[in-house]
Amino acid sequence: MAETIKIGRLALRDEGDVIKAYYAKADTMDEAVTLFALNPSVAHLPGVRDAALKFGRHIVSEILFEITGERPIWPHDPEPAPEHERTGKA
């Protein structure tokens, strides 16, 4: 079985007047790359958050494929942010 290496993550962050999607290192937001931003009134509509996650994963998968020649394997369910990054918002 091939070894699984966690090289990064997709992070959605509520930043006041926008919700931003980032590609970040596995354990820190230092040097995170902004992928896109959503208006919160749109992001909270039914199905939009799931669509945004799917879109973000697609973007990151394409970037990593271009760099490594391999596509990442994403966890089935979104993983919570590291404890030190949590804002207390769901």
Residues 58-82 have pLDDT tens digits of 999 998 899 889 888 887 766 666 6
In the predicted model, is pLDDT for residue 33 greater than 90?
yes
Arithmetic mean of pLDDT, 22-49: 90
CA atoms within 13 A on the CB side of 2: 6
Is 28 part of any domain?
Answer: yes
* pTM attached to this predicted model: 0.73
Is 67 part of any domain?
Answer: yes
Domain tally for the chain? 1
Is 58 part of any domain?
Answer: yes
In whole angstroms, give the CA distance from residue 26 to residue 45: 28
Arithmetic mean of pLDDT, 30-59: 91
pLDDT of residue 22: 93
| Least confidently predicted of 17-21, 31-35, 38-42, 80-84 | 80-84
- Domain limits for position 43: 9-84
Contact 72/60 with Cβ under 8 angstroms?
A: yes
